[in-house]
């Protein structure tokens, strides 16, 4: 029987503007696929508060719109012959169009106390992000309200 590993819940943020969807890569780890901002919901923290905190920690941006809930899913994947399950809360944030095209930010507080991680942010068309986002992070893209879809 395959053991199932349940991970802490996550909050993920789809931040969009006229350029597209905000994504990041990890230049020091080129095999890690593109991701959207987000992370672990801490004990006692609400999903929306986790989304706000994680967005600020990962992007360096704060003071923007309150995230709008898009839904919840269970992401199931296999790694090292074990089934893994993580519950993910998806949110949308409409961002201003005057943000930089790209920028770097160092995540100072990665989950599990790992060393700080360099993130390189950029904007992708939704059609591109559907194919380049890793870790199943594209699952809720179809839930973005049409009026907030930049393309």
**Per-domain boundaries in the chain:** 4-144
Helix-then-strand count for the chain, H and E: 2, 8
Phi-psi region of 63 (alpha: psi -120 to 50; beta: other; left: phi over 0): left
Q: What percent of the chain has pLDDT over 70?
A: 94
Of the pLDDT bands very low, low, confident and very high (cuts 50, 70, 90), residue 147 is low
Residues 71-80: pLDDT tens digits?
A: 999 999 988 8
Which pLDDT tens digit goes with each residue over 12-37? 999 999 999 999 999 999 999 999 99
pTM assigned to the model:
0.92
Which fold, 4-144?
Nucleoside Triphosphate Pyrophosphohydrolase (3.90.79)
User: pLDDT tens digits for 108-146?
Assistant: 987 667 899 999 999 999 999 999 999 999 999 999 988
């Amino acid at each position: 029987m395959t053991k199932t590993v349940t991970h802490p819940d996550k909050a993920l943020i789809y931040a969009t503007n006229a350029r597209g969807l905000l994504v990041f890569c990890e230049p020091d780890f080129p095999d890690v696929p593109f991701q959207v901002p987000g992370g672990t919901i801490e004990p006692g923290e609400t999903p929306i508060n986790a989304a706000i905190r994680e967005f600020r920690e990962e992007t360096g941006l704060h003071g923007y719109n309150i995230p709008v809930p898009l839904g919840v899913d269970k992401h199931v994947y296999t790694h090292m012959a074990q089934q893994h399950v993580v519950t993910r809360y998806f949110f949308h944030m409409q961002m201003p169009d005057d943000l930089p095209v790209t920028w770097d930010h160092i995540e100072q507080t990665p989950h599990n106390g790992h060393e700080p991680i360099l993130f390189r942010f950029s904007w992708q068309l939704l059609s591109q992000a559907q194919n380049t986002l890793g870790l199943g992070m594209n699952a809720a893209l179809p839930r973005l309200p049409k009026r907030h879809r930049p393309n």
